[in-house]
Amino acid sequence: MEFTPLDQIDKVHLELRSGFNSGKLKSLAYRKYQILQLGYLVQDNAERFNDALASDLGRPTLENNFLEIGPSIGDTKQAYQNVEKWTKPEKPAFSLNFTAMRPVVRKEPKGVVLIISPFNYPLWLTIGPVAGALAAGNAVAIKPSENTPAVSSLLAELVPKYLDQDLVRVVNGSIPETTKLLELQWDHILYTGSGRVGKIVAAAAAKHLTPVTLELGGKSPVVIDPNCDLETAARRILWGKVANAGQTCVAPDYILVPKDFQDTFADALKNTYDKFYPESAKPSVSGAYARLITPQAFTRVNALLKGTKGTVVFGGETDEATKYIQPTVVKDVQPDDTLMSEEIFGPILPIVPVKDIDEAIAFINARDHPLALYVFSSDNAVKAKVFDNTQSGAAIANEVLIHPGVDGLPFGGIGPSGSGYHTGKYTFDIFTHLRASMDSPSWVDKILAARYPPYTTKKVNAVRKLLFARLPARPSAPPPIGVASGKKRWGRWFLVATAIALASFLTKRSKALTGSS
Active site residues: 215, 249
Contact 106, 435 (CB under 8 A): yes
Contact 404, 248 (CB under 8 A): no
Question: Any residues with CB less than 8 A from the CB of 293 and at least 6 apart, and which?
Answer: 56, 57, 119, 120, 147, 148, 247, 323
Q: Long-range contacts: 19-26, Cβ < 8 Å, 24+?
A: 19/139, 19/164, 19/165, 19/166, 19/167, 20/109, 20/111, 20/112, 20/138, 20/139, 20/167, 22/166, 24/164, 24/166, 24/167, 25/109, 25/134, 25/137, 25/138, 25/139, 25/167, 26/137
Distance in angstroms (rounded) separating the CA atoms of residues 192 and 209: 19
N residues, the chain:
517
Q: The sheet that has 395-397: what strands, in order across it?
A: 311-314, 328-331, 348-354, 254-258, 221-224, 373-376, 395-397
Contact 177, 3 (CB under 8 A): yes
Half-sphere exposure of 472 (CA within 13 A, CB side): 2
Strand 112-116 and strand 188-192: pairing? parallel
Contact 418, 397 (CB under 8 A): no
Dihedral class, residue 360 (left if φ above 0, else alpha if ψ from -120 to 50, else beta):
alpha
Distance in angstroms (rounded) separating the CA atoms of residues 125 and 130: 9
Evaluated on CA atoms 496, 497, 501, 507, the torsion sign reads: positive
Q: Long-range contacts: 23-26, Cβ < 8 Å, 24+?
A: 24/164, 24/166, 24/167, 25/109, 25/134, 25/137, 25/138, 25/139, 25/167, 26/137
SS3 content of the chain, % helix, strand, coil (to 5): 50, 15, 35
Distance in angstroms (rounded) separating the CA atoms of residues 379 and 381: 5
Distance in angstroms (rounded) separating the CA atoms of residues 35 and 80: 6
User: Any idea of the CA torsion for 438, 442, 444, 449, to the nearest 10 degrees?
Assistant: 120
Question: Any residues with CB less than 8 A from the CB of 10 and at least 6 apart, and which?
Answer: 180, 184
